[in-house]
Structure 1
Amino acid sequence: MPNTYTQLYVQIVFAVKGRQNLISSEHKNDLHSYITAIVQNRGAKLLAIHCMPDHAHLFIGFGPTLTISDLVRDVKASSSGFIKEKGWSQKFAWQEGYGAFTYGQSQVKDVIQYVLNQEEHHRKRTFREEYLTFLKRFEVPYEPKYIFDFYE
């Protein structure tokens, strides 16, 4: 798109169905590489990724023609198939829905560090606490019955 200039940064968060711990640390890097390729093939830039055993954080620089919902759909569908194809988990699926939170240029370095340091963050707070904090901080109205299933 000539003469179109954008600067769009989005952190996307989604969970494993049933919040099961199905993303093993031994396969995490392969999954990160696979998801990175999906994002790049769709014309976006993956700035940071971290998959915890039961959820994922992606921080992405978007162009003007890609929609968040299309990218999340593609990442979830393809990565679920990849995990099953590799034999890591035949029952693997992502929960429906996701959170998407936007940031400005001045926040990029901090968000990258936040995503990359997920294991440290989750020593102090649960995924539920983290996700609800995002919703409150970004003033996203929500119905508790429609957010992820949380099993503590």
Structure 2
Amino acid sequence: MPGTFSQIYIQIIFAVKNRDGLIKTTWEEELYKYITGIVREKQQKMLAINGTSDHIHFLIGMRPSCCLSNLVQEVKKSTNNFILEKKFCPFHFEWQQGYGAFSYSHSALDKVIGYIQNQKEHHRKRTFREEYIEFLEKFGVDFKEDYLFKWL
């Protein structure tokens, strides 16, 4: 019987609302495991996840039947509830609207996974804003500054 075969790799990036540094190292690993569970439940493959106190990156192997915007919406909605229920954050936690999604070839996976795993070190040298604009420019994504994440 014929099947569908694909290799679709997507890096997803999104930020805490107002770029507040609310993700603490004491609970970020639990958050990443929770996000991984959502991705797996949606029958996608988590390849890497990491971030800083104000944003996260994750790389997935995506099935062609996946609607990326629905997946990201579910991750954001569910993690907001998870963080609230676990009382991880003494402040109101919310993700900013929007996200970045960037595709990669199979040959680039090791480099992208390394980049994601090295987020904290990477952001000692550059801001999230610089990083995000570089992604948009590198991938040839047309954008207007007014529609990017709100920057502090």
The TM-score normalised by the length of structure 1 is: 0.97
Q: Is the 8 A contact 1:32 1:51 kept in 2?
A: no
User: Quick check: 2:49–2:57 contact (8 Å CA) kept in 1?
Assistant: yes
Tell me what 1:150 maps to. 151
* Structure 1 SS opposite 2:77: helix
Which residue number corresponds to residue 85 of structure 1? 85
Where 1:124 maps in the other structure, the secondary structure is coil
Aligned-pair Cα RMSD in Å? 1.1
Report % sequence identity: 48
Partner residue in 2 for 1:72? 72
- Which residue in 2 is equivalent to 1:101? 102
Instruction: Report the Cα distance in structure 2 between the residues aligned to 1:76 and 1:69, rounded to whole angstroms.
Output: 11
Paired residues of 1:50 and 1:58 also in contact (CA < 8 A)? yes
SS at match of 1:49: strand
Return the offset for 1:51.
Answer: 2.7
The number of residue pairs the alignment matches comes to 151
1:62-99 deviations in whole A, cap 9, x for unaligned? 01111110110000000111001101125000000000
Supply the AA of the counterpart residue of 1:51. Answer: G
1:11–1:60 CA contact under 8 A, matched in 2 = yes
Residues of 1 paired with 2:37 and 2:45: CA distance? Answer: 10
Could you tell me which runs of 5 or more consecutive residues in structure 1 were left unpaired when the two chains were aligned.
none
> What is aligned with 2:8?
8
Q: Does the alignment pair 1:43 with 2:38? A: no
Measure, in 2, the Cα distance between the counterparts of 1:150 and 1:68.
Answer: 25
1:125-140 equivalent positions in 2, closer than 5 A: 125-140=126-141
Scaled by the length of structure 2, what TM-score is found? 0.97
Q: Structure 2: give runs of 5+ residues left out of the alignment.
A: none
